[in-house]
Amino acid sequence: MDLHDEAHEERVDTSAADSRHWYVLRHPNPVLIDDVFSHKRAVSYTDVEEPLPELDYFIPFCEINFRSSLAATAPSDTFIGHKYEPKLDGDAFRVDLKSYIFVFATEHQVADILHYAWNRNLKNPMWALRDEQGHFVTVSLRAMEVFRSALRQMDFQICEGRPALEDVHEGDWVDVVDGPMKGGEGRVAEILDRKGLLSLTVSFRLFNNIDIQVPGIRLEHVRLRNQETHRLLHDDVISNFESELIELLCHRHGASGSPDRNKADSKKLTFLNKYAGIQFDDETDAAKFEALMLICAYLMKDDAQLEQRIQRVESLLYKGDPSPFTLHSSLDCYLMTALFIATHDVTLRQRVKAYRQSHPDCPLAIRRFLSIAKLIKAKKP
């Protein structure tokens, strides 16, 4: 959300000068202006000036709690050359917004504020943002509501704005349709699974190319613009990834399968791999997802990623002692099935088959993967 873009949607009409809008003022000392607007600091008026009325105003610098700079407390190797890094510095956002002052007033009131004697006599007088035609810039009520809601979130993270590139996908666009951020739009920056419920960290665009990342937005409170993503993530995540990967395995190892991926399968794998960073609070779901991402890396033929995924699944399965090994649970069987698909190790398939035969209640997902695994030509040890 770009407040400047929103601002240009709402121009000041001189015929409606008595209506109130959010106006954007600037001053290098926001604390001083806060004291003046709240009448904590006495200022002088000329005989013809009315005292400053009670104003509905918002100064971000004064609203955001101060946080000590990480550069001052973190080990020296955290900041290369102690470079200022907004992503790591908790006080960065206050600095970026230091000079902004938002006033909900009429055009005449804003003009009066700027022409008060006390303002004109300041070393650096307060000024208002103006558009190309010289009119005061205003911000829509919706944009201000989203902006202020974002600042009220406790655990936000700040990142520098970057221009979007056509060949780079940083996340899915979403429209927030409910909750405290209702009315905002942004990109998904992180996906978390907490006890089977997905929540999002959404990056909202502010002004001056600054993004604010707001965590904890419930999935049902957003409308994903990409319909395929909406379907994949709104239902059970594990089940959906299982179904997608089983279909892709059938394309490769089925009766009419081909080792060469077609364009549709390549696009699907790239799409699934984009969500490899989903985090799960439930340890079982987290382990299953590691197994699914191992299969995804195998189908993508990404050797580097495949090796990393194999090591991670092996660490979950063997816990440091790969041999001798007995499958103790359906989760062990799930992990070993994924390892066989990725490595074609016949010993792994034999162990999985033995577990399946001795456990008639073996989960359906394992039976579905095994039906494909038996078509894979195994490698003998």
> Domain map of the chain by residue range?
3-140, 157-225, 235-373
3-state secondary structure at position 343: helix
> Within a 10 A sphere around the Cβ of 41, how many other Cβ atoms?
13
Q: 157-225: which CATH number, 1.10.3720.10, 3.90.1150.10, 2.30.30.30, 1.10.760.10?
A: 2.30.30.30
Provide the pLDDT for residue 322: 60
- DSSP type of residue 130: B
Contact 169, 188 (CB under 8 A): no
167-197 pLDDT per residue, tens: 323 477 777 777 767 777 787 777 776 655 6
18-67 pLDDT per residue, tens: 588 999 999 989 889 999 998 898 888 888 888 888 889 988 887 766 55
pTM for this entry: 0.51
Residues in the chain: 381
Return the H-helix or E-strand segment holding 282: none
Mean pLDDT of 99-128: 91
Provide the pLDDT for residue 292: 93
Residue among 124, 105, 112, 137 nearest 207 (CA): 137
100 versus 16: which is more confidently predicted?
A: 100
Provide the pLDDT for residue 127: 92
Provide the pLDDT for residue 11: 43
150, exposed or middle or buried, with CB in 10 Å at 0-12, 13-18, 19+?
buried
pLDDT band at 288 (very low <50, low <70, confident <90, very high): very high
Classify residue 59 as left (phi > 0), alpha (psi -120 to 50) or beta: beta
Provide the pLDDT for residue 43: 87
Residue type for position 126: M
Contact 372, 249 (CB under 8 A): yes
Residue among 300, 366, 306 nearest 332 (CA): 366
Contact 153, 214 (CB under 8 A): yes
pLDDT band at 380 (very low <50, low <70, confident <90, very high): low
> Within a 10 A sphere around the Cβ of 65, how many other Cβ atoms?
8
70 versus 33: which is more confidently predicted?
A: 33
